[in-house]
Amino acid sequence: MRHYKIRFYVLASFLFLFPALLLVLQSLSKTWRFQRGEGIRFQLDSFQVLLSDPNLWSATGWSITIGLLVLLINLVVGITTGKALTSLSFRGKSFIEAVMLAPILVPVLAIAIGLHLFMIRIGLADTALGVVLIHLVPTVPYSIKIFQNAYQQLGRSMLDQPVILGSNPWHQLVTIELPLMKPAIRSVTFLTIVISLSQYAITSIVGGGTIITLPMVFFPFLDTANASIMAAFSVWFAMIPFFLYMIVEALLWLLPYSKKMRRTTT
Amino acid sequence: MKWFKTKTIYLFIPSFLFLLLPLYGLGAAIAQSLSDGNAFTLIYYKELLQSDRFLTSVGFSLYIALVSSLLSLLIGLWVTRTCYPLLEKYTPRLIVWLPMLFPHFVWGYMVILLLSETGVLSQVLQMTGLLAESSDFPVWTRDPNGIGIILTYVWKEVPFVILMLLPVYSSIKPQYYDLVQTLGGNGWDRFRTVEWPNILPVITESFLIIFAFTISAYEVPALLGTTFPEMLSVLSYEWFYGSTWEERPLAFAAMSALSIFLLIMTLAAYLFLNRKRWRAMRGRIS
Amino acid sequence: MRLLSLLGLLTIMLLSACSSQNSSQEFSTVTEQKWSEVEADAEDTTVRMFMWGGDEGINQYIDDWVTPNLKEKHNVTLERIPMDTGEILQKLQTEKQAGKQDGTIDIIWINGENFKNAKENKLLAGSFTSNLPNFNEFYQTDDPAFQTDFGTPVEGMEAPWGKVQFVFHYESEKIETPPASFEELKGWVQENPGKFTYPNADDFTGNAFLRHILYASADTPSDIYDSPLDEGSISETAEETWNYLNEMEPELWRSGEHYPNTLTELDRLYSQGEVWMTMGYNEARAESLINDGVFPETTRSFVMEPGSIGNTHFLSIPFNSTNPAGALTAINFMLSPEAQLAKLKPNYWGENTPISIDKLPKEMKEEFQSVDRGQSVLSQQKLEDSFLPESEAAYVDWMKEQWFDEVVQN
């Protein structure tokens, strides 16, 4: 047991932690030329460029607001549909399941124009609500899948029992389903926020510049040969889902039984 | 039981409303690819089939997407299997999920920073004298075999596979394992009889998702690909945003064809999965 | 079934809700006004300028110089929105298709093939440069560089904002005298295998490099830039171009098996000392990269015979701008001598100006002439002597396809 733990930590640190730290280090130093015998030359200019961008803070704010709204809708759509797909068996279910997954199978470039037309027609182009709706396209299918799998693991009996005992659906959701599906909620939170945060093309098209999110400030810098600025942006970028995840994790503690379960497991 | 069922169907309303969006988008794309401005035409699809550049890119894209998704699944499955009790805990889970915090192109950029001929690894090797000059370093990025692209995708998707598999593994009841052990089964039996039936739907879906993503995403191959062979997404992007807008219908045709291919593949996968589920249930009833 | 009918109803609602927005005011009524009225209308409004945002020097010039000064002088608020020009045009095109008259874009930064596409698809508001006081006063309005943009007639639909010229950069520590002609460049590459490459033809800079070879292969460069693309009549020149490139290929970086996808990739190779030369469509761009420690300090630039291609880039107004008066005021301001002088100074952008120095008041003239653009920038005289105009936009596309067939797949 101990053995595999050590192996895990060594491997995980090397493969996952080290590259992230590398980016942090690059963001704090000038272009590396070790082979020429140059050492690490520290600098903070890259973060200065970052912080001097007048759009940075408002973009961060928009990204967080949109991310949280997208997450909320994802939880609603994911839980309802996940439950429906688990509790119902019907002819053509395979077809419905495939269609539910379709939005993430179709290349974004292909549907972007159609989505923009759609948004103009319902009058939501260039608005924050439009951006939130458009961010559902690459996120909701994941949430549906994750919750469907979670409900399947709960088993149908677990879902039928409270109904037989006369519980109302809302009560059943809060006291039984949500606490038991915490791993699924975590996955959905993480995935939804990360995906919403990194949407560039559809945000810029539908947000139309009225809504400036982080990638819109960040992506143009892909064209820079200045590695430090690139790295500084990446680090800033990664902090946001990290903190949002922490917040959601804290909220999960408020669900029934959380404290007790924690105490018994630790 | 009947009222319960009819009520449950209302749970579909949010997702059906949501589906309007992407289906409209896809419909618009297909319509664009089938119209020459006024009338219906198949000319763009014919043009695609006659283009060597397009066909080569299809082959290369299939190869990249297949290798990337299979490797990601295998490694992700292996890590989850061996480490899931540990991954239930806070810190290990966050470490593993760390690459997911970065967008794909950042990770691609990191791969270049680390593994290109002038990357950190090469620089360190040169500094220690193990490598004479940077041209002796193997070409792992922007190479004709797509090593750099595959590497980036696998590195980035393994955490995703873990994310998908973890809830399943943590909900498999340990009693099943005990049962296998009592009956004298080995590790392979354990995997085949307890784990595999549970994870098969998730594995299939993860494959579909990763395959679809890697075959159609643009950023990583644009950064880590080479001039030739190129990926379909890069070629489509060039057709789409290229200087003349006359080639746009070609981009729509290529992407519509790809979308339809992916949808059919997905439908087939679900038909297969649901047939299995039906069988399993029937088995349970009888 | 009920679900289906619900969906149907929604779809009908969506389809019927299209294109009934009120239209913005007619652009010509704005341009017909007296200039003082335009400026008065612009007061206390917001102008949204959409532009490529990948250079911190350019961004800072807009954010730290233009925006505060425009606010102070004309009480106009300028908002810079970073977006790729291709996407901006795509957005406009979709809005046009949907009949959306109240757009979010007031100014776009544009030239070349993008201008051609925008003009052909009627995405621009119309002709306005003749109304701009600063343009009339300080610019050589009949300069051919302002009359056509990559061969497309401008017709007053975009105002010249800046001027750039193609140069090569090299490390003066490693190369004593850079090649003086494209023939010499080939020789240099053969003597220094692996130390040179160029971005592929899909890249803006790579394509410009290839067009230089085309110019050099012709009898005289004007054979190309003075005539519209005719594949038949340039076939010999083209043949020579491919020969040149194919002969050079084995000696390129990585033996020509891979060409950098972008200029950024080439710049990184250069900054690592992998290759000894890089290039770019802006004669002063190395300055800020040297200051940031990305390029070595010994970086200098050079141009070769038969010359170096230069072009002008412009500001324009899209068809559905909701604040044309504000856009005109802002554009006029950005063309002013003060704004152009600040743009020329190397602390922000360091980019050349299309203004006619001779038309400026004496003091201003001296200020322009006294700007030190930095050691890596060639003298104005040298740049002017080697200047070659751009060819028609169609050559860009032709080059993309031919290069892939003739050089990469060969």
CATH architecture of B42-285: Orthogonal Bundle (1.10)
- With a pLDDT cut of 90, the percent of chain A lying above it is 24
Disruptive mutation site among C3, C56, C272 for chain A (greatest number of A CBs within 10 Å): C56
ipTM above 0.85, yes or no: no
Contacts of C120 (CB under 8 A, 6+ apart): none
Mean pLDDT in each 10-residue stretch from start to end of chain C (410 residues)? Answer: 52 46 66 94 96 86 96 96 89 91 94 93 95 96 92 95 96 94 96 95 94 95 92 93 96 93 91 93 91 91 95 96 96 97 92 94 94 92 93 91 89
Which tokens is B268 given? Answer: 């087939």
Assigned architecture for domain C24-163+311-377: 3-Layer(aba) Sandwich (3.40)
Residues of C in contact with B17 (CB under 8 A): 10
Give per-residue pLDDT as tens, A109-164.
888 888 898 899 899 999 999 999 999 999 999 999 889 888 887 876 666 776 67
Collapse the DSSP code of C321 into the 3-class scheme (helix H, G, I; strand E, B; otherwise coil) and give the result. coil
In a domain, A209, yes or no: yes
CB within 8 Å: B14 and A76: yes
pLDDT classification of A261: cutoffs 50, 70, 90:
very low
Domain positions in chain B are 42-285
Q: CA-to-CA distance for A160 and C389, rounded, in angstroms?
A: 77
Q: Is the peptide bond before B229 cis (omega within 30 degrees of 0)?
A: yes
Pairing of strands C152-153, C148-149: antiparallel
Chain B residues within 8 angstroms (CB to CB) of chain C: 9, 12-13, 16-17, 20, 53, 117-118, 134-135, 139, 142-144, 222-223, 225-228, 238, 241-245
Question: Which residue of C lies nearest to A206 if distances are taken between CA atoms?
Answer: C91
Same fold, C24-163+311-377 and C167-302+388-408: yes
Cβ of B11 within 8 Å of Cβ of A81? The answer is yes
Q: Do B4 and A163 touch (CB under 8 A)?
A: yes
**Domain chopping of chain C, boundaries:** 24-163+311-377, 167-302+388-408
* Within a domain: A32: no
Task: Mention every residue, 6+ apart, whose C-beta is less than 8 A from residue B179.
Answer: none
Higher pLDDT, C66 or B186: C66
Q: Is residue A130 part of a domain?
A: yes
Two structure tokens written together for C262:
């972008």
pLDDT digit string (tens) for C54-92?
A: 788 899 999 999 999 999 999 999 999 988 898 899 899
Does C194 contact B135 at a Cβ distance shorter than 8 Å? yes
Query: What b/e readout covers C372-391, taking b as 16+ CB neighbours within 10 angstroms?
Result: ebeebbbeeebbeebbbbbb
Q: Which CATH number fits domain C167-302+388-408: 3.30.70.1050, 3.40.190.10, 3.30.9.100, 3.90.1150.10?
A: 3.40.190.10
Q: Which residues 16-55 of chain C have a CB within 8 Å of chain A?
A: 17-19, 48, 50, 52-55
Closest chain C C-alpha to B129 CA, distance in angstroms: 18
Higher pLDDT, A64 or A52: A64
8 Å CB contact of A223 and C289: no
Q: Are C408 and B245 a contacting pair at CB < 8 A?
A: no
Most C CBs within 10 Å, among B60, B114, B124, B227, to test the C interface: B227
Q: Which residues on C lie below 8 Å from A209 (Cβ)?
A: 48, 50, 81, 83, 104-105
Total count of domains within chain A: 1
Using CB atoms, pick whichever of C63, C95, C272 lies closest to residue A33.
C272
pLDDT at C200: 93
Q: Which residue of chain C has the CA closest to A205? A: C91
A179 lies in some domain: yes
> Confidence class of residue A263 from pLDDT cuts 50, 70 and 90?
very low
C-alpha C409/C-alpha C396 separation (Å) is 19
From the list C7, C257, C258, the residue facing B16 with the nearest CB is: C7
Ramachandran quadrant class, A155 (left: phi over 0; alpha: psi -120 to 50; beta: rest) = left
Closest Cβ opposite residue A220 in set C14, C82, C293: C82
Residue A59 lies in a domain: yes
Chains that touch C (3 or more CB pairs under 8 A): A, B
* Model pTM score: 0.87
d(CA A33, CA B119): 9
C396–chain B Cβ distance below 8 A for any pair: yes
Please indicate whether, in this complex, the C-beta atoms of C11 and B225 are within 8 angstroms of each other: no
For A78-82, A248-252, C73-77, which range has the lowest pLDDT when averaged over its residues? Answer: A248-252
On chain B, the residues whose CB falls within 8 A of the CB of A118 are 20-21, 24-25
